Chain A
Amino acid sequence: MYFRRLASCLLVLVVLLSASSARAHEAGDLTAIPFDELVQREVVSASRMARQISDSPSAVAIVTAADIRAYGYRTLADVINGIRGLHTTWDHRYQYMGGRGFSGESDHAGRVMLLIDGFPVQENLFNQAYIDESGLLDLEVVDRVEYVPGTGSVTYGNNALLGILNVVTRKGRDFDGAQLSGELSSHGGRKQRVTYGRQFDNGAEVLLSASALQVEGRDLYFPAYDTPDTNRGWARGLDGERAQRFFGKASFQGWSIEGVYAERSKDVPTNPGGLIAFNAPFRMQDENAFLSARYETEVGLRLRSSSSLFFGSYRYWNRRQFSDWSTDDEKFGERDYQGNWWSFDQKIVGDWFADHTLVFGFELRNDYRQRFNRRYLSPVGEVVRRASEAFTRKTASFYAADDYRLDERWALNVGIRYDDADDLDGNLSPRIALIHQADPWTTLKASYSEAFKMPNAADRSSFAGYGDAAEPERVAATELVVQRQMTPQTRLIGSLYRYRRSKQMVFSEAADDYVASGASTTRGVELELEHGNERGMRLRGSVAWQRALDVEDKDLANSPNLLGKLALSLPIVSDAVRTGLEVQYVGGRDTLERRHLGGVTLANLTFSSERKWHGLSASVSVRNLFDRRYETVSFFAWRPDSGVRQDAFRMDGRTWWFQLNYDL
């Protein structure tokens, strides 16, 4: 009911907007105007607001390098928290993204796609997108992040189920030299970075960057472990983190190559498993690397070709201690997982017909290593037991899409992709979208699409049910979007959507196993206003309302009904410093134990230098400015010996961060 009312509100808004623009004029055929008259006409310069690059008919959100700097974003998770309708959840291991109908740990891996310069970079064991300090890139080398809500299987196939983070890196010329950077932050955090970028006279361009991060960590208190046996709930010195990243890319004429290596080791203070000893050393390590090459060329004026080759590698390692080893002599557990894969993609874009842009191509992917090695060690370090599993998968995919401009005002976007993995039946992902240019400033988009997620290696390892009967999880999404450029500097985006997920894994008493028979629905509406002015002020505000149900038709855990964002940045002190203020509201949501956590409003404040002074530039940022005490949902549904629930974690109070850059 509530939803209907909101829907009709949006509709009224659309009608009002269309009506108010009835006075607007079409540019018409300017070639009919004599040239001597034309040169006297006034022009309105193109909007200085960031325009989306991705071809999605969805309501895309864009975060630029200027935003990253103005709001002091340090990880993709920070970026995500500033985006309409999204929030993240931290469990002291990873940040998990939540949004339209997905809510955290169990949904994040394999359902949110991360692209870096067009390449999907989730690893091939869990298909997780790393968005915290385990992420692949320093944000200083990121030019923009586009968030495409909803499905993307029609373009990217497997895993593009609920959202796509499209990261575009900066160019060598943006640095034009070397930059040294040092950072200090709360909890004994330090970071060093060196970046070099340049474009040479022959057009070749390079960008190289390396960084190292160390966070000492601190003591954390967990009420569920407040017993004499478990150090009264204190995990001492177990929250430290170290990370290092290397990034390089080079381009010359149509060629570009890019490589990334990112390694993060984290001490885990929480207790992700019932058998694990609390307040005992638990270190985990994620190592992501890729190497890619792409060649783009034109074959005549009508045909563009893009060929891409990608090699990916991922390693996960952890060592943890069990609380009881009296019966099996297994005191330590070690996990050593390794994934390797390559893929090749050949895409053709054809402009043969005046009103059509045709895209077609194929992709081959070989996940030739998906290995899970586990070792269990005695108190003196001898191997008591080993377990090992290995999987592989080969996938062949074909895709085609047509962008058909019916006339000046109407366009039709249709696409289909077929993915065939050697252990699964073939899968079709269609998309159809109708785009209407109501007037030069108003665009309406309606789309229907389907997407899927194949059972990944971790699923195949955990669920015995994924034998011969394995099936991909699916989603069908319907979305209506209105985009209105109210002035060259003011933009309004509204979105109304419905997602229907199916083939989700649920436990069946009858089968005494997990079966892919769950289904759930999410509906929501989002509204965002963006405004800038000539003096460099930028303002973005959004409200997102969603109602997400789980497979039992109950409110989905960790899915707030309401999310609000406000971001304001403007130059101060005679344009020498930019101030960036963010206010973010996360509405009330349920924990896994069906306890309600109240909503919370957080504010972040950043000051950054607008101009360089003898090559120096600086930023200082305070997160959770008002030191709000708040909790987020934890994904640990079981209770430890104390009997006290651990369905929520207390988050950080006020934290600060300082960065100093020096351009050589």
Chain B
Amino acid sequence: MRRLLLLLLLAGNLRVHAEPLPEHDMKAAYLYNFAVMTRWPEPLRASFNICTLGAEEVGLALRKLEGKLIHERPLTVARLNTLAAIHECQILFVGQQDAASLPRIVAALADEPVMTVTDAPQLASVCVLVAPEGKRLAFHVNLEKCRAAHLRPGAPMLNLARTVLRPDP
């Protein structure tokens, strides 16, 4: 009987641990982790700026993380509507809603150290793609684009990526 109770308790606990997480919060946490696990060229700005474009809800989820330290800089979140200020971001998350702007964003940023992330299926034009895979949220890294922006995603991040597009040797 006691064993059964323990089993039930354990099962209950497991269930709690397996509680699915809201997509927007999850994406925000991924962006935070990308920031921590990637090296940006020196010098860094006074704050670490993560911006969203066409992804209002991810932006709102990110705001809950504001003030946390990334590379010893306080995290600042900006929810953008236009491309006017994208040069000031360290990470720019472009939602599906604004995916059509990606070519212009890529052209405007050129080789500036901005990590472009999107959840629209366009890995070829960005540094990181976040995409649901079954019940989980997978991510893919386009190393060529990251390096073009002078960004060095760390090995732990690359190991967790579902795919890594490497530049031709």
Contacts and interface: CB of A to CB of B under 8 A. Distances in A.
Contacts of B33: 31, 35, 38
Contacts of A46: 22-24, 57
A533 interface: no
A300 interface: yes
Given A253-B83, A254-B84, A43 B137 contact: yes
Nearest to B81: A296
Interface string A2-42: 00000000000000000000000101001101011011111
Max chain B C-beta neighbours (<10 A), residue from A25, A27, A33, A304: A27
Max chain A C-beta neighbours (<10 A), residue from B49, B83, B157: B83
B25 A45 contact: no
Nearest to B63: A354
A513 interface: no
A298 B84 CA distance: 6
Given A42-B21, A301-B49, A440-B22, A25 B16 contact: yes
A30 B82 CA distance: 29
B22 A44 contact: yes
A255 to B, nearest CB: 10
B20 A304 contact: no
A219 interface: no
A462 interface: no
Contact of A35 (B18, B23, B103, B156): B156
Contact of B100 (A43, A203, A301, A302): A203
A328 interface: no
Interface string A312-349: 00000000000000000000000000000000000000
Contacts of B64: 408
A627 interface: no
Interface stretch (B1-9, B65-73, B121-129, B143-151): B65-73
Given A38-B33, A351-B79, A43 B19 contact: no
Contacts of B94: none
Contacts of A41: 18, 20-21, 26, 136
B51 A44 contact: no
Contacts of B77: 351
B160 A45 contact: no
Contacts of B28: 30
A208 B138 CA distance: 40
Nearest to A295: B82
Interface string B127-143: 00000100111110000
Nearest to A171: B100
Interface string B45-58: 00001010000010
Max chain A C-beta neighbours (<10 A), residue from B22, B33, B57: B22
A38 B32 CA distance: 12
A36 B160 contact: yes
Interface string B97-135: 000110110000000000000000000000000001001
Classify chain B: how many residues form its interface, as a range: 35 or more
Contacts of B160: 35-36, 39
A254 B57 CA distance: 21
Interface string A189-216: 0000000000101110000000000000
A299 B84 CA distance: 7
Max chain A C-beta neighbours (<10 A), residue from B33, B89, B103, B160: B33
B85 interface: yes
Nearest to B30: A38
Contacts of B24: 46
B165 to A, nearest CB: 18
Contacts of B156: 35-36
Contacts of A40: 136
B29 interface: yes
A446 B132 CA distance: 36
Contacts of A302: 78
A173 interface: yes
A298 B100 contact: no
Given A30-B28, A173-B100, A42 B18 contact: yes
Contact of A27 (B25, B49, B138): B25
B37 interface: yes
Contacts of B81: 254, 296, 298, 304
B134 to A, nearest CB: 9
Contact of A30 (B20, B29, B49): B29
Contacts of A297: 82, 84
Nearest to A38: B29
Contacts of A300: 85, 88
A26 to B, nearest CB: 10
A43 B32 contact: no
Contacts of B138: 39
Nearest to B79: A351
A299 B25 CA distance: 27
B23 A45 contact: yes
A356 to B, nearest CB: 11
Given A203-B100, A253-B82, A254-B82, A45 B67 contact: no
Contacts of B29: 30-31, 33, 38
Contact of A43 (B49, B57, B79, B135): B135
Given A35-B33, A46-B57, A27 B66 contact: no
B164 interface: no
B30 to A, nearest CB: 8
Nearest to B51: A301
A170 to B, nearest CB: 13
B22 A27 contact: yes
Given A43-B137, A298-B84, A201 B103 contact: yes
B137 A39 contact: yes
A44 B104 contact: no
Nearest to B159: A36
A9 B92 CA distance: 47
Interface string A608-626: 0000000000000000000
Interface of A: 25, 27, 30-31, 33, 35-36, 38-46, 173, 199, 201-203, 253-254, 296-302, 304, 351, 354, 408, 440
22 contacts: A25-B19, A31-B68, A38-B29, A38-B30, A38-B33, A39-B138, A41-B20, A42-B135, A43-B20, A43-B132, A44-B22, A45-B132, A201-B103, A203-B101, A203-B104, A254-B81, A297-B84, A299-B85, A301-B51, A301-B78, A302-B78, A354-B63
Q: Which 10 A-B pairs have the closest CB atoms?
A: A301-B78, A30-B29, A298-B85, A42-B20, A35-B33, A44-B20, A42-B135, A254-B82, A298-B84, A27-B25
Interface of B: 16, 18-26, 28-30, 32-33, 37, 49, 51, 57, 63-68, 76-85, 88-89, 100-101, 103-104, 132, 135-139, 156-157, 160
Given A27-B22, A36-B156, A46-B23, 8 more contacts: A30-B26, A31-B68, A40-B136, A43-B132, A203-B100, A297-B84, A298-B81, A408-B64
